[in-house]
Structure 1
Amino acid sequence: MSTSAAARSSESLSKWTMEKAIGSHLFHVADYSLARTIGVGKSISSAVFDVGGLDWSIKCYPAGGTPQNSNYLALFLALESDARNVKAAFRLALLDQRMKPSSKTPAHDGPYTFKNRDYALGYHRFVERAYLEASQFRSTDCLLSNDALLVHCTVTVLKNPRLQSPAIRPVAAPPSDLHQHLVRLLESGEGSDVTFEVGGATFAAHRWLLAARSPVFRAELFGPMKENRMRRIKIDDMEAVVFKGLLHFIYSDSLPPLMEELAKESAVLMAQHLLAAADRYGLERLRLICESKLSQQVDAGTVATTLALAEQHHCRNLKAICLNFIDSPEVFIAVMRTDGFEHLKTSCPALLENLLKKLG
């Protein structure tokens, strides 16, 4: 056999990677002019935040970290966990009014070793205080807006390096499409055994799936009175489009596509109705999804109706976000001019009374 015939071609692959975790934190110093009066060597700290399963905090020295550096703002990243020799890279930045890093931001640092708890690394001379305080009078690179300072920190925790040398690539399983099959079953009505009349529309559904997803439907359809339940159930106090969205979630575990197509005002209204329906039928995940949607759309025009809804359905986080938004007499006056304020006044008088006392 010739040499050329005996030759065989082969190719292999290996890959070296560093396992890492990346996270960030935004520290809002609301009253810089007061913070700088605490004195040289005195720091203010951010809340503790998690990156890579470890606790971290930002240390800010508004009047300087040491007497010889008192003309500078000092910034440090501190390890708050009981851990040793943690390797991490980090970047500290001051953000301007456009939420962009200042041109004075130092280059990316690290990776460094944080030796133990309370070990801090950073900059004694992060930025001159004179430059920082004069920035509020500049149209660009304004770092003090309304006496507020924004410190942004990105942390990259380095873990164990890995060398991968796969001989055979594993077969990737496709994502689950069960929800698509269930939605098609809902749309076709095939095998349905219960019909709902809602707002002049009818909806065919399947008792077994309704009962599996909702404890309320389970009690209604398979409880002690199940033999007396009609195959046709009328719901008077809900709009057809809301019940349709509720059924879509029950079958697909996701919001109806309609939510992405609606204008903001209509989407907020739909989320409010779906939250009430979710609470009524014990669909906790849908309730939390609607809470999240509504919390991102809080403004002067929506906060009154959203606050009333949060109070009536015991949504503590959503209620706190609404109350935090109405944090001044000026905002409250704007809210009073909305149609939703009348609903808040009649449905939640005690809550409104407490809010008035808070605002003086």
Structure 2
Amino acid sequence: MEGIYLALQSLGSTGTGSATAATRASSGGNLTSSSRSITQTINGSHHFKINGYSLAKGMGIGKYITSETFTVGGYQWAVYFYPDGKNVEDNSLYVSVFIALASEGTDVRALFELTLLDQSGKGKHKVHSHFDRALESGPYTLKYRGSMWGYKRFFKRAVLETSDYIKDDTLALTCTVGVVVSSTQGPKLYSIPVPESNIGAHFGELLESGLNSDITFEVDGELFPAHKLVLAARSPVFKAQLFGVMREKNSGVIHVKDIEPSIFKAMLYFMYRDCLPEESELSGSASPTTCTVMAQHLLAAADRYGLDRLRMICEAKLCEQVNVETVATTLALAEQHHSAQLKAVCLKFVAANLAAVIQSDGYEHLRESCPSLQCELLKTVAGVEDDTEMETPVIVNKKIASETIPSLDGSDANGRRVRPRT
């Protein structure tokens, strides 16, 4: 029994203590210890799309377009794109791309990779990388906030503008940063890696195979087999429809109206996998406008079936994709489905870009479908004017705002019809 107790006590020891006990037993009491230093990189990537490349040209030497900041290794970073070059000598021939340290830090050591994405689908990306090749002097050191690494001559402008790297007047860059970190470790217990959850993949296979499905949805002539219990667990609306007092008598096939088959299919995909398919798979196109329309329809479907997480995902995507052409329809959608955060974003965007939005095709839809937004829009415009200073503002002050902003029904504050400028 004493031997078993000592063995268990030894197994219960951890870290350096167990190693020392074993060493002491084998070497007559001499104390030894061990440790190791590990130097590695903490990697992170940021995808940066530049829409309207042709409009960015001519902004001037040294003028740049910057990405949102992103965090890697505890530091903030940003991508800087110079359409006309960073320096005078490179202006006529090259665009410049740099990665900058955007947070406080001294002597931050890192590796970098810049990838210009081939948008033709051929996969011929242009990659500048330091991850897969030896560096004579080691990783780069950024001394302070604002320090940059990159290429003054990243790509020849004339070649770029006739290449597959530009599609729909859009460039796409991926920036990868690997921050070098070092740590020291002592002895530790063995560990067993645990794989990521694959429950979504398993449920997705169940949906795709249709195995033991017990309900079929008919959507505009297309049939979608599914499983009642899965749908009821995910959606309170389906739960009531399939098992509650509102369940249909002939529940073998349910006919769904006012929704497109592709939207219903994407919604089912989400309900089983808890994620959305790739945008190109979802819409059949990677164009920003098509993706926005799909997200709008999905938001309406999510609201209809009580899928709160899907609804928030769609709101986030629409917030990222808001632009002059889509903001009016997105604002109308946010109003109709009580999406307060998305509505606030759209109101601020419209207020800041009022003249351009009025000329868009979606503005007429907004004016007709949501006339009650007029007062909120006026307040937002006035608030934007109070908070920002502009050389040529759309509105000078609140008094002028009430007199000159065309309302959603096409008239000014005095009821006179206002014709948008063409």
TM-score range, shorter chain: 0.5 to 0.7
Q: Which amino acid aligns with 2:357?
A: V
Alignment of 1:136-285 (within 5 A): 163-168=185-190, 170-226=191-247, 228-257=249-278, 258-259=281-282, 262=285, 263-285=287-309
Q: 1:354 and 1:248, CA in 2 relative to 1: closer, same or farther beyond 3 A?
A: same
Listed one character per residue, the Cα deviations across residues 28-52 of structure 1 (whole Å, up to 9, x for unaligned) are xxxxxxxxxxxxxxxxxxxxxxx9x
Q: 2:357 aligns with which of 335, 343, 347?
A: 335
Alignment partners' CA distance in 2, 1:178 and 1:244:
19
Listed one character per residue, the Cα deviations across residues 253-302 of structure 1 (whole Å, up to 9, x for unaligned) are 01123248622111100000001111111111111111111111111011
Alignment partners' CA distance in 2, 1:187 and 1:339:
39
Q: 1:270 and 1:101, CA in 2 relative to 1: closer, same or farther beyond 3 A?
A: closer
Q: Is the 8 A contact 2:331 2:342 kept in 1?
A: yes
Name stretches of at least 5 consecutive residues in structure 1 with no aligned partner. 1-11, 21-50, 52-88, 112-122, 127-155
Q: Is the 8 A contact 1:198 1:234 kept in 2?
A: yes
What's the offset of the Cα at 1:110?
Answer: 8.9
Listed one character per residue, the Cα deviations across residues 120-175 of structure 1 (whole Å, up to 9, x for unaligned) are xxx9xx9xxxxxxxxxxxxxxxxxxxxxxxxxxxxx9x9xx87342353x221221
Counterpart in 1 of 2:315? 291
Alignment partners' CA distance in 1, 2:315 and 2:358:
23
What's the offset of the Cα at 1:314?
Answer: 1.4
Q: Secondary structure at the match of 1:274?
A: helix
Listed one character per residue, the Cα deviations across residues 19-71 of structure 1 (whole Å, up to 9, x for unaligned) are x9xxxxxxxxxxxxxxxxxxxxxxxxxxxxxx9xxxxxxxxxxxxxxxxxxxx
What's the offset of the Cα at 1:177?
Answer: 1.7
Alignment partners' CA distance in 2, 1:206 and 1:260:
25
Query: TM-score, length-normalised on structure 1?
Result: 0.56
Q: Which amino acid aligns with 2:332?
A: A
Alignment partners' CA distance in 2, 1:90 and 1:186:
42
What's the offset of the Cα at 1:243?
Answer: 0.3
Alignment partners' CA distance in 2, 1:166 and 1:200:
61
Alignment partners' CA distance in 2, 1:226 and 1:238:
20
Q: 2:343 matched to 1:319?
A: yes
What's the offset of the Cα at 1:229?
Answer: 4.6
Q: Is the 8 A contact 1:14 1:166 kept in 2?
A: no
Q: Is the 8 A contact 1:213 1:283 kept in 2?
A: yes
Equivalenced residue count is: 244
Alignment partners' CA distance in 2, 1:342 and 1:275:
21
Alignment of 1:49-198 (within 5 A): 108-109=105-106, 163-168=185-190, 170-198=191-219
Q: 1:107 and 1:299, CA in 2 relative to 1: closer, same or farther beyond 3 A?
A: closer
Q: 1:91 and 1:255, CA in 2 relative to 1: closer, same or farther beyond 3 A?
A: closer
Q: Which has the higher contact order (CA 8 A, sep 6+)?
A: 1
Q: 1:14 and 1:261, CA in 2 relative to 1: closer, same or farther beyond 3 A?
A: farther
Alignment partners' CA distance in 2, 1:202 and 1:106:
53
Q: Which amino acid aligns with 2:369?
A: S
Q: Which amino acid aligns with 2:331?
A: L
Q: Which amino acid aligns with 1:235?
A: V
Q: 2:374 aligns with which of 345, 352, 359?
A: 352
What's the offset of the Cα at 1:92?
Answer: 12
What's the offset of the Cα at 1:225?
Answer: 4.1
Alignment partners' CA distance in 2, 1:276 and 1:107:
43
Q: 1:343 and 1:172, CA in 2 relative to 1: closer, same or farther beyond 3 A?
A: same
Query: TM-score, length-normalised on structure 2?
Result: 0.48
Q: Secondary structure at the match of 1:349?
A: coil
Name stretches of at least 5 consecutive residues in structure 2 with no aligned partner. 1-33, 43-70, 84-96, 109-143, 147-178, 382-400, 402-422
What's the offset of the Cα at 1:236?
Answer: 1.2
Percent of residue pairs bearing the same amino acid type: 45
